[in-house]
Structure 1
Amino acid sequence: MTVTLITGANKGIGFETAKQLTDAGHTVYLGARDVERGRKAAAALDVRFVQLDVTDDASVHDALATVEAAEGRLDVLVHNAGILADGVVDGPSALRAFDTNAVGIVRVTEAALPLLRKSSNPTVVTVSSSMGSFWAVTNPERPESTMPLALYAASKAAATMLTVQYAKSQPGIKFNALEPGTTATDMTAAFGIGRSVVESARSVVRLATLGPDGPTGTFQDDHGELPW
C-alpha cells in the first residue's frame, strides 16, 4: 500500500484528494490543524487522522512520528495547507501568510525526508498557485493579472521556489508544484468563482501517482508545465 500524508485535508481540495487517493488504494493520513474537524473528515473517508499544524514545529514532529510508528515510511507527501491572506497588508499578516504557505512547507518536508527516503518511489506535491507566477500576474489574458493578493501571491511564489530547490537538493525524491486551477472552495467563496474540487483534485492525484521516472522540479497545471 502507498502511504500518503496530506496537510490541510479536512476540506476543499485536500479532502477530495484524500478521497481520490483512498479510492486508488493509498493508505491516507489526513492532516488537519483542528482536531474535531480533522477527525470528522477522516471518519467520513475512513482514513487515518493526524493533528498537523504546519506553523507548529511540535505538531509537525508528532504527526510524522505517528506515521513512522505505524508505517515505517512515507511514499507521498501533499503540501495542501494554505491561507488566502486577503485582509490588511502589514507585517504580522505577512508573517502569518509566509509561515503557513511557505515556511510550513519547510517544516513538514524536513520532518518527512527521513521517511520519504525509505520509500521506493517517494513523491512530494506542493499545491501552489499561478498567483505566484510573474508570467501569470503580468499577463492581461490571465485572471491572476486582475487579482491584487500581494501576500498570497508572494508566499505562493516562495512555495514554488522551495519545491524546485528541494528537487535539486533531493534528487532521489520527486518534487513538483501544482497550479490546481481556480477552484470553488472556502478560500474563493468571496470571489464566486471556481470549478469543482473533484476536477482540481484530479490534478493533485496525477502528480501524486507519478511513476519512478516521472518529472521533478516542475510547476504544472492540468495541461503540463507552466512558465513562472
Structure 2
Amino acid sequence: MQISNVKLSQPYSSLDIYYSASDEALPAVVIIPGGSYNQIKERDSERVALTFATHAFQAFVVRYPVLVHKSYPAAKVAISQAFDYIVAHTTELQVNPSQLGVIGFSAGGQLAAAYANQVGTKAKFVALGYPVIKPTIDDKMGVTTEDVSRLVTSQTPATFIWGSINDGLTPFVDHINAYAVALAKHKVPFELHEFGTGNHGIALANKYTGIVNRDRVDDHMAKWFPLFLDWLSRLF
C-alpha cells in the first residue's frame, strides 16, 4: 500500500490517499472524520481507511479545517475539492467512479450528508455514522451549520445510517430519525440500524479503534461494518 497526502486549494485542507495496487479499478470511499471541528480523530480516519483497504476499497480521508481555522462552509469546499481530485485521477488511483461514495462520522456525517445532497455530487452512495443532522450542537462545536435533512431530494444517493439509542450528543429523534424521515419522504433507498448498545463516537466499535478511543468497544454495534458491506454489495 502507498499512503500519500495532497494539498487541496481550500486552505488548511488536504486529502490522505490510501492507494492499493490492483488488477482492476476498485470501489472507493471518501472518509469524513468527526471530532467536533477540534481535531481529525484517528479512530474515524486512518483506522477506518485501512480497514476499508483490507476489503478491496481505495480509501481516502479528507482533512478539513479544524481548531482556529474551523468553518463549516470551508469544510464543505474541501470535501468537494477532494471528490473533484479523485474523479480527475480515477485511472491512476484505480478508482471505479460509479462505485465512489462518502462516509462520515458525527460532525463528519453532517458534512458527508451535505456533500451527498449537493448539486453535481460525485458520491454514488452515502454512509452516516451517528451523524449530526441538525444544528443543535453548533455552540458546542463553535461553528454555524445547517439542518441537512432539509437538503434531501429524490436525487440523494442511496444511504446507510447507523447509531446508538444511547447517544446523548446527537439523540435519535433529533438527528438520525429526522434524516431517515426525509429519505423516506423522497423515496431514497436507505437502510437504518439504531443499535441498543454502544454510544456516540465509537467508530468501528472494535478493539482496533478502541485502543485509540479510551477502550470503547461494543461487539454488537461493531456489526454495522459487515452490515454496511452487505448492503453495498446488493446496491452494486
Give the number of the structure whose residues are more often strand, by fraction: 2
Q: Which structure carries more relative contact order (alpha carbon 8 Å, separation 6+)?
A: 1
TM norm structure 1: 0.48
